[in-house]
Amino acid sequence: MAKAIELRDVSLSLNQKQILNGINLTVQKGTIYGFLGPNGAGKTTLMKVILNLLHTNQGLVEIFEKPITNKSYEYLRHIGSIIETPVFYNKLTVYENMKLHCDYLGIYDESKIDKKLKLVDMTQARDKKVKELSLGMKQRLAIARTLISEPELLILDEPINGLDPFGIKEIRELLIQINRQFGTTIFISSHIIVKGHNKMLVLGH
């Protein structure tokens, strides 16, 4: 099976502090991979390395079986990501936020917006202002926004953080649906064990 992500002996130090130390990881295409560890274990840092927001001190990062260098950016067109807390224009509506994101990406087929909102069960909220949404609805909107470019790989940093058990169940079922319907590879971090991941790596132990 083809690989979506491969890390070999990845290490990173920031301000003379070792954040990542010899990380080895393989995520096969078409799978859901759970990335588990306590707060401060380096989950977000590793995701930033994959997205070229931070650069390693040593080790190899391959995305879709191609090595990533400090100057690699084209591959990001095939990735949707939520890192830390998603940011929206709170005084704009759900649809307006999606439209702005499309303009930013150069996507002019507005029918995609309604399709993605329907996928995450947000059609009825399309004209609501973001400030009126619950935390769970904001997470759904964030996922819809990452899907607008129809990425092959989703990188989601703690998308269930702060949700109640019902909200966690909803997001879990949504991610499974996306994976099964589109074959999207999903790399998801959490400090909470959630059933349904195909595989799991634990950091910080």
The domain spanning residue 95 has which CATH number?
Answer: 3.40.50.300
| Amino acid type, 59 | G
pLDDT, one tens digit per residue, over 114-141 is: 999 999 999 999 999 999 999 889 989 9
The residue range of the domain holding 113 is: 3-202
Q: What is the pLDDT of residue 138?
A: 92
∠ CA 123-125-130, rounded to 5°: 135
Residue stretches of the chain with pLDDT short of 70: 191-205
Q: What is the pLDDT of residue 104?
A: 87
Q: What is the pLDDT of residue 190?
A: 80
Main-chain dihedrals φ then ψ at residue 129, nearest 5 degrees? -75, 145
How confident is the prediction for the chain on average, in pLDDT? 88
pTM assigned to the model: 0.86
User: What total number of domains does the chain contain?
Assistant: 1
pLDDT, one tens digit per residue, over 47-69 is: 999 999 999 989 999 999 999 99
The CB-based long-range contact list for 74-79 (8 Å cut-off, 24+ gap) reads 76/51, 76/52, 77/149, 78/151, 78/152, 78/153, 79/51, 79/151, 79/152, 79/153, 79/154, 79/155
On the 0-12 / 13-18 / 19+ scale of CB atoms within 10 A, 205 is exposed
Q: What is the pLDDT of residue 196?
A: 47
